[in-house]
Amino acid sequence: MKRCLGLLSLLIFPLPYSHAQSVDAKQAFAGKWISTVDVFSSQIYMTIDLKQQDRKLTGKFGNDALEGTVDGNSYHFLAKDENGGTEEVTGRLEGGTLRGDVIETPGSDPKHPFRYTFTATLVKTRSAAPPQRHEFTPTVFYRQFSPFNKSVLTINPGDTIHTTTVDAGGADEKGVRRVLGGNPETGPFYVESAMPGDTLVVHINKLRLNRDYAVSDDQLVERAMDSRLAVKMKDTGKDVRWKLDLAAGTATPEKPSEHLVKYTVPLRPMLGCVATAVGPTQAPPNTGDSGGFGGNMDFNEIVEGATVYLPVSNPGALLYFGDGHAAQGDGELNGNALETSMDVEVTVDVIPGKRPPQPRVENATTAIALGIGGSIEDAFRAATSNMASWLTDDYKLTPSEIAQVLGTAAQYKVAEVADRNVNVVLKLDKERLKTLTQSAK
């Protein structure tokens, strides 16, 4: 079986919220509510969008249109889904908390209704306070992109965090092992007002090396080898330690073999992982995994100056980052890049009410749609589809125009092939995007 039946269908396309509401006695129910639903001890989020006209209620319960009535603090409504199913809801509004008892009758199985309850709060509006800068010293590092890890710091949209990350093996800037390896992350950071369905914006202000060595190895990953190359590489797999010369901006193997005595790579510090927590009904992925939520993307253009756009799946977004690389070739071909600790400063923001199908990255000159999938083929298609959505959503291009722009301006790079998921990116030069004409609104 592939997908969940029933209730979860409510969640597939959460609606955008408007984040400003006036609170008014006659409008006490009106607004966008984020509800926490307890279903057989699993917790899920659902949005409820209510319009109140005197005693009449309309709006959406998840994706389903609802109609009902208000009676003082009590309310009652009926919502209908596309398959002929219904949700009958009764409850009360008390102290800013909307409670409800739901009887869900599946259209495909009307004889077996089931019941659950929820509690909801009005979606927070963005803080008007001036942006702050937070110095944060991590003491715990997580190994899953989980919504259930306790957030380490709460910030407002617009705020800046200055912190550090340990290397992929768990060693910090002093080389002290702090945690079991596998890309342990700094975070999660709770971002006020960020809600499921929003976009989290992570701008990397500074990304600096803070120690003088990195650890890597000398093998090639499975996906890079045909049978001839596999036979050639059969005896590799040793650790290789690299010296990082921060002043010169170069990396060199500490004990180079014959032909690499003068081999030198320019330092180009990057973050292998930037992620939001996955939704509460998903199994939290380990920090070697990637997906729509970002994660271990290992893309060597997530460097100082880049901005990363990620979908929000939980209240507060729950931002994680880690897995710094002093330098990395495309593909992360040997499975470990030049793994090292980092000094990181990011500014975080929220774009309410829309989110990309897969992560996006932007820098001064380029717009980049990531495609993350189980094979290079799937990732390639995902990147193309992600960029096509971008051109539709932000530039209003028609399908014909999308083909003309991609056909003349697409730049594809295979970003990573080392992990369970693969990452292919589609880049567009902003010079091209500037020549697009915005629709008259």
| 171 in contact with a second copy (CB under 8 A) | yes
Under the criterion CB under 8 A, does residue 430 sit at the interface with a second copy? no
Omega before 184 cis (within 30°)? no
- Neighbouring CB atoms inside 10 A of 423's CB total 30
Q: Which of residues 135-154 bind a second copy (CB under 8 A)?
A: 143-144
153-155 and 114-122: which strand pairing? unpaired
In the region spanning residues 40 to 59, those forming contacts with a second copy, defined by CB under 8 A, are 40, 42, 44
CA-based torsion, 309, 315, 139, 241: positive or negative:
negative
**Element spanning 38, H or E:** strand 31-39
Of 19-27, 128-136, 151-159, 281-289, the segment contacting a second copy by CB under 8 A is 281-289
d(CA 131, CA 201): 15
Residue closest to 120 by CA, chosen among 29, 16, 8: 29
Concatenate the DSSP letters of all residues of 206-275 into one string: EEEE-SSEEEEES---GGG--HHHHHHTTT---EEEEEEETTTTEEEESS--GGGTT--EE---EEEEEE
128 makes contact with a second copy (CB under 8 A): no
Using rule CB under 8 A, residue 378 touches a second copy = yes
The size of the interface with a second copy (CB under 8 A), counted in residues, is: 146
Answer yes or no whether residue 181 interacts with a second copy by CB under 8 A: yes
Candidates 45-53, 194-202, 308-316, 326-334: pick the segment binding a second copy (CB under 8 A): 326-334
By CB under 8 A, tell whether 87 contacts a second copy.
Answer: no
The region of 16-24, 71-79, 201-209, 373-381 touching a second copy under the rule CB under 8 A is: 373-381
**Positions in 284-323 near a second copy (CB under 8 A):** 284-286, 288-289, 296, 298, 323
Cβ distance to a second copy smaller for residue 88 or 134: 88
236 binds a second copy (CB under 8 A): yes
CA 264 to chain centre: 34
Examine residue 112 and tell whether it contacts a second copy (CB under 8 A).
yes
Among 67, 94, 377, 393, indicate the residue that binds a second copy (CB under 8 A). Answer: 377
285 closest CA partner among 143, 141, 140? 143
* Position 233 contacts a second copy (CB under 8 A): yes
Q: What is the rounded CA–CA span in Å between residue 52 and residue 86?
A: 21
Residue 109 binding a second copy, by CB under 8 A? yes
CB of 99 to a second copy, least distance (A): 20
* Residue list 260-279, contact with a second copy (CB under 8 A): 260-265, 272
